[in-house]
Amino acid sequence: MALLIACSSRAEQFAAEVRALDPGLDARIAPDLGRSGDIDTALVWQPPAGLLRSLPNLGLIVSVGAGVDGLLGDPTLPDVPLTRFVDPDLTGRMAEYIALNVLYHHRRMSEFRELQARKVWRYLPEAAAHEVRVGLMGLGVLGMAAAGALKTFGYRLRGWSRRPKVLDGVACASGPAELDAFLAESDILAVLLPLTPETRGILNRGLLRKLSRSGRSALLPGPVLINAGRGGLQVDADIVAALEASELYAASLDVFETEPLPAASPLWAHPRVVVTPHNAAESSPAAIARYALRQMHAHRNGEALENLVDRTRGY
Ligand code: NDP
Ligand code: OXD
């Protein structure tokens, strides 16, 4: 039995980590498959289309990504158990990213950066955290961790998920019927949704116009969008238009419709936009190796797998 590592980046690092943890393991790096019939487990990130289908004894796919939209979009993906990466290391990094960017915009840092560049000493009024309503779209592993981090500062938290939830300290809404009310009560919208047929393009101009722009947090100049889910959730041009029309005050975007973000995108230079290159929560090779081996051994021993993807719901 062998483990195949089929990753468009960091494959050598993952191989070094799994070999360090299990020196006897037969670990191969695509495209060097050897005898393909030996391979029972594949650790993957953006594998070439059709590669997994060519492995006759493949019994388990472990996704390096927490998001599996890319894999599920491959019509040749074999119908074997698919587990996605969930780990405290990645979860902690995402909670940091969301807290960092909520604080950055709530405390009007992009404006202070501009004033500093011009050596202007100017007071700007700021809301207190307990006056700001943060809406979390997606209340899964990462959304709940972000809520936990934001609670420390006292933000007023709302959340939206597919199925109803009850969470301590988070006013929860669910499903399309409760979306508009959730948006109307969100001053800062932080998005940690998976990309599925239901969520594609959800962050469009119509949705952005429904965000709160009044009320207790009038000290925030306007609504803020933070997206660290997937670029396919958003319409980049609508975000630019909403910023230009002052329907949005600011945005932090880690993901884009096209990645890398094209040089021509106006998002790069917008003074109220923070662009990061899809690294809100980089996953550590050591954590991935530990996780992949745990899933592989569980599968070989007929034990339960963690974080199985439900292909019908798409995440
Ligand atoms: P989970 O599967 O744990 O959570 C997904 C959440 O989204 C759940 O609360 C789910 O609702 C909700 N959801 C899904 N579909 C809908 C819908 N149609 N309407 C409303 N809510 C919906 O995922 P994670 O928290 O682990 O990860 C979320 C995403 O973050 C990943 O899919 C990936 O795309 C992205 N990601 C980005 C990274 C980066 O570096 N930028 C790093 C890691 C992940 P319910 O609770 O009802 O199931
Ligand atoms: C992921 C990612 O899905 O890094 O894990 O985007």
Which of the pair, 216 or 178, is modelled with greater confidence?
178
Q: Which ligand has its closest atom nearest to the C-alpha of 309?
A: 1
Residue 40: the pLDDT is: 98
pLDDT higher than 90, residue 133: yes
pLDDT higher than 80, residue 217: no
Residue 151: the pLDDT is: 98
Which residues partner with 174 through β-bridges?
A: 161
Pick from 303, 273, 276: nearest CA to 111: 273
Mean of per-residue pLDDT scores for the chain? 97
CA–CA separation, 138 and 114 (whole Å): 32
228 touches ligand 1 (CB under 6 Å): yes
Secondary structure (H, E, C), 89-155: HHHHHHHHHHHHHHHHHHCCHHHHHHHHHCCCCCCCCCCCHHHCEEEEECCCHHHHHHHHHHHCCCC
314 touches ligand 1 (CB under 6 Å): no
232 touches ligand 2 (CB under 6 Å): no
Q: Sign (positive/negative) of CA torsion 231, 237, 243, 245?
A: negative
Q: How many Å lie between the centroid of ligand 2 and the Cα of residue 117?
A: 34
Residue 231: the pLDDT is: 98
Q: How many Å lie between the centroid of ligand 2 and the Cα of residue 20?
A: 24
For the full predicted model, state whether its pTM sits above 0.95. Answer: yes
By annotation, the residues acting in catalysis are 230, 278
First vs last C-alpha separation in the chain: 28
